[in-house]
């Protein structure tokens, strides 16, 4: 059994198990692990009941629960890294020196490298035992929370703090990306996967990975291994976070749920001019998004050593200022404006004011009018009685007088009641309530229409976004089609030129062969006798034929130098080296052709082995006429390549212009839709307020009707006599 203690040449590439082999072994943790924490630990199982792997490019991670209930992650390597143990030792030593109390957040993950940690099919392999980290991958968290601008902004701040922690401790991660950043419930970050970590003890060594291509500079290589290798990816992540914080719609507009990126991918960084996503960000109306994305686009062209570090704890407006990008409309106070109902109406709609304005007190204050009315009422009752008892008037006259006096009392008292200040206040309050109800009722009646228009705007905005994505994709397809046509034209022209070159080489070789032939002839003549017919094994030539040929002294390639057809017959004569023409029994035209072809092959073989070469003057005589011909073809090839590159460049520029125009139009449409949406949101808010106001106004009307009883006509009569 192989063990870790065996001497192994570090240059030998060791073959590691696959993820499925690890998964099979983890079904019996008692057998496969030596580590105390891992023996008898229970792995998390997948749907078919086997340990669930999370596979990466060079390792597979399993989640286990220890016997005491702790959650542990085990990283099992699937790819050979020659100095893996050395790197983890240096990384572990450096991280152990970092005091977690001085970190901005608990991003550091505990781990232990175990050289002989797991047994697979009789062989032990290294593992990484890691603390389990609770949290969501950054991309998953954004998919859920991108509408919560304050939370996204807070995560962006936490990311800035984390990057500062790394710089302050002379660390670079090497693969900053959404899959290695986990967001906890309190919005702090956890950093995982330390395979490519740089620490000072590893200075001077090459990196062992370049990192996720969707987060790395197109110019990064394995030689870019040092404290600043995270600079580009830090800007990429930071720019995406602040863009989503400023405009949450960008997430659904630019992020692909199946894509391994946030807003921008490696293809966007390689060629921003033909990118499908960059134009919408570079032309964004939000100044912070515009500034940070323009800076990121500029960084794509720089070498890794020229990319600055992400500054610590910058505000979003500071980002644009630091990047020297002008921010239009970013300064100045915005006056608070509350469109909707007039300001005078607000003063009438507070609860206290409603209770004060629309509640009525009882009658207050006696005047001469009330004294005379009270006297008239007393006289109306007492005068007829006194007159009747004194016998001054007849009964009919008394009744008539009582009717007249009581009618006069009621008319005068009703008029006096109508003119009372309390009654005037009641009428004024009723008119005010009716006006307020009419004003708000019209607004409430339009609520459903406005709500439907707002819903249509949401659909329209999504349609505009989807059409923009489709148009950008179509532009990319058109660019690829243009590239394909250009390449097809270039290849056709190149193939023609290559054929011309081959023809020239054939002509030159023929010229050399023609000039060499006289010099080679003595050598060929000397070699031909060494090619024996008996050893040729020619198709159709049997031993009997060879005997017939030998009988005529035809034994070698030197003895047969040609053939001659017999006119009017099916026979052929062989021409011999000594000038004879002989007829060989059994050798017809076909076999004669075969014998002569063999002679020619032997002659060519002898010529190829000839040590004779042309004199320098003869070579020059042949070379000189061909030189301008070759130069002409190569010059035309250069022109073809340059023309293809020019056409590709024009296609890219044309695409960039169209994308810019499309992005401008897209942003204008979105800006108009969003401006209208904001207006409708404010209107809906006012309508909801108006609906509440109508409810309160109706309550006030009920209160007013109840209060009106206190100043009714009957209450007025009571006021006249009882106070």
243-253 pLDDT, tens digit per residue, is 999 888 889 88
Q: pLDDT-derived band of residue 352, with 50, 70 and 90 as boundaries?
A: very low
β-pair partners for 33? 118
Rounded distance between C-alpha atoms, residue 568 and residue 31, angstroms = 93
Q: What is the pLDDT of residue 532?
A: 92
273 against 512, higher pLDDT: 512
User: In CATH terms, are 19-131 and 136-322 the same topology?
Assistant: no
Q: What is the pLDDT of residue 351?
A: 44
Rounded distance between C-alpha atoms, residue 359 and residue 707, angstroms = 6
**pTM for the full model?**
0.51
Region at 40 (left for phi over 0; alpha for psi -120 to 50; beta for the rest): left
555-602 pLDDT, tens digit per residue, is 998 898 898 887 766 778 889 888 888 888 888 888 889 999 999 999
67 φ, ψ to 5°? -65, -25
Single out the residue of 254, 7, 298, 10 nearest to residue 143, CA to CA. Answer: 254
Q: What is the pLDDT of residue 674?
A: 76
CA atoms within 13 A on the CB side of 404: 8
According to CATH, the topology of domain 19-131 is: Phosphorylase Kinase; domain 1 (3.30.200)
The answer on pLDDT for 318 being more than 60 is: no
Q: What is the pLDDT of residue 76?
A: 92
The burial class, CB within 10 Å (0-12 / 13-18 / 19+), for 351 is exposed
Rounded distance between C-alpha atoms, residue 51 and residue 593, angstroms = 75
On whether the CB atoms of residues 662 and 467 are closer than 8 A, the answer is no
Rounded distance between C-alpha atoms, residue 303 and residue 230, angstroms = 13
Q: Which residue has the tokens 């030596």?
A: 34
**How many C-beta atoms surround the C-beta of residue 532 within 10 A?**
12
137 φ, ψ to 5°? -55, 145
Pairing status of strand 181-183 against strand 136-137: antiparallel
Q: What is the pLDDT of residue 331?
A: 40
* Mean local confidence (pLDDT), 475-486: 85
Q: How far is CA 719 from CA 365, 405, 407, 704, 713, in A?
A: 10, 20, 19, 20, 10
> What residues does each domain of the chain span?
19-131, 136-322, 352-446+709-722, 525-608
Residue 98 neighbours by CB under 8 Å, 6+ apart: 108, 169
The answer on pLDDT for 358 being more than 60 is: no
Q: Which superfamily is assigned to 136-322 in CATH? A: Transferase(Phosphotransferase) domain 1 (1.10.510.10)
* Mean local confidence (pLDDT), 453-471: 79
On whether the CB atoms of residues 558 and 596 are closer than 8 A, the answer is no
* Mean local confidence (pLDDT), 501-527: 85
Q: What is the pLDDT of residue 206?
A: 86
User: Of 325-339, 388-402, 508-522, 636-650, where does the model show the most confidence?
Assistant: 636-650
399-420 pLDDT, tens digit per residue, is 777 788 778 778 887 777 777 7
Lowest mean pLDDT across 194-198, 245-249, 348-352, 648-652:
348-352
Single out the residue of 133, 136, 135, 129 nearest to residue 41, CA to CA. Answer: 129
The C-alpha R_g of the chain, in whole angstroms, comes to 51
* Mean local confidence (pLDDT), 521-542: 88
The answer on pLDDT for 279 being more than 70 is: yes
What's 175's DSSP letter?
A: -
Q: What is the pLDDT of residue 316?
A: 43
Q: Which residue has the tokens 């099979």?
A: 24
* Mean local confidence (pLDDT), 167-176: 91
Q: What is the pLDDT of residue 67?
A: 86
């Amino acid at each position: 059994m192989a063990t870790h203690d065996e001497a192994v040449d570090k240059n030998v590439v060791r073959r590691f198990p696959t993820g499925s082999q690890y998964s099979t072994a983890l079904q019996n943790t008692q057998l496969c692990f030596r580590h105390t924490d891992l023996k008898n630990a229970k792995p998390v199982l997948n749907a078919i009941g086997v340990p669930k792997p999370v596979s990466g490019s060079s390792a597979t991670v399993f989640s286990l629960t220890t016997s005491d209930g702790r959650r542990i992650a085990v990283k099992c390597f699937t790819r050979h890294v020659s100095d893996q143990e050395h790197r983890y030792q240096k990384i572990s030593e450096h991280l152990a020196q970092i005091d977690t109390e001085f970190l901005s957040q608990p991003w550091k993950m505990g781990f232990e490298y175990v050289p002989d940690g797991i047994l697979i099919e009789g062989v032990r392999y290294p593992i990484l035992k890691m603390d389990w980290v609770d949290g969501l991958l950054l991309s998953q968290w954004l998919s859920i929370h991108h509408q919560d601008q304050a939370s996204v902004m807070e995560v962006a701040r936490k990311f800035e703090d984390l990057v500062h922690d790394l710089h302050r401790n002379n660390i670079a991660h090497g693969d900053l990306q959404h899959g290695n950043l986990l967001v906890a419930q309190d919005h702090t970050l956890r950093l995982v996967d330390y395979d490519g970590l740089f620490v000072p003890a590893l200075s001077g060594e090459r990196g062992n990975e370049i990192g996720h291509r969707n987060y790395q500079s197109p110019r990064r290589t394995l030689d870019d291994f040092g404290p600043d290798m995270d600079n580009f990816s830090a800007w990429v992540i930071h720019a995406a976070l602040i863009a989503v914080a400023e405009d949450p719609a960008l997430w659904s507009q630019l992020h692909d749920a199946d894509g391994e990126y946030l807003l921008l991918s490696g293809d966007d960084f390689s060629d921003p001019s033909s990118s499908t996503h960059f134009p919408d960000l570079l032309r964004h109306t939000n100044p912070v998004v515009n500034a940070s994305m323009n800076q990121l686009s500029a960084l794509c062209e720089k070498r890794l050593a020229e990319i600055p570090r992400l500054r610590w704890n910058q505000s979003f407006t500071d980002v644009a200022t630091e990047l020297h990008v002008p921010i239009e409309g970013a300064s100045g106070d915005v006056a608070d404006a509350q469109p909707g109902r007039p300001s005078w109406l607000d003063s009438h709609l507070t609860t206290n004011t409603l209770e004060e304005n629309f509640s009525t007190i009882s009658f207050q204050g006696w005047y001469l009018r009330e004294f005379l009315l009270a006297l008239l009422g007393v006289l109306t009752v007492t005068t007829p009685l006194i007159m009747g008892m004194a016998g001054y008037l007849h009964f009919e006259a008394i009744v008539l007088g009582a009717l007249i006096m009581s009618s006069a009392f009621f008319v005068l008292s009703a008029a006096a009641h109508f003119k009372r200040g309390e009654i005037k206040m009641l009428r004024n309050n009723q008119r005010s309530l009716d006006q307020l109800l009419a004003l708000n009722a019209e607004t409430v009646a339009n609520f459903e229409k406005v709500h439907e228009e707002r819903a249509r705007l949401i659909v329209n905005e999504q349609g505009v976004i989807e059409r923009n994505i489709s148009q950008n994709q179509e532009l990319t397809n058109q660019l690829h089609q243009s590239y394909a046509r250009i390449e097809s034209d270039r290849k056709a022209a190149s193939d023609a030129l290559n054929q011309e070159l081959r023809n020239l080489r054939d002509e030159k070789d023929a010229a050399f062969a023609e000039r060499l032939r006289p010099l080679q002839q003595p050598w060929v003549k000397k070699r031909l006798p060494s090619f024996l017919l008996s050893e040729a094994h020619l198709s159709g030539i049997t031993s009997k034929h060879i005997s017939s040929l030998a009988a005529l002294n035809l034994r070698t390639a030197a003895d047969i130098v040609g053939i001659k057809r017999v006119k009017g017959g099916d026979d052929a004569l062989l021409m011999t080296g000594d000038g004879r023409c002989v007829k060989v029994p059994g050798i017809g035209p076909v076999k004669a052709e075969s014998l002569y072809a063999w002679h020619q092959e032997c002659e060519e073989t002898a010529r190829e082995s000839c040590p004779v070469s042309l004199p320098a003057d003869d070579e020059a005589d042949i070379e000189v006429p061909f030189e301008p011909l070759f130069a002409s073809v190569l010059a035309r090839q250069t022109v073809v390549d340059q023309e293809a590159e020019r056409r590709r460049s024009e296609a890219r520029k044309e695409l960039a212009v169209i994308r810019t125009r499309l992005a401008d139009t897209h942003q204008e449409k979105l800006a108009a839709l969003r401006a209208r949406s904001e207006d409708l949101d404010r209107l809906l808010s006012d309508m909801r307020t108006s609906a509440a106001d109508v409810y309160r106004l109706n309550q006030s009307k009920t209160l007013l009707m109840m209060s009106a009883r206190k100043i009714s006509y009957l209450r007025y009569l009571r006021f006249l006599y009882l106070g």
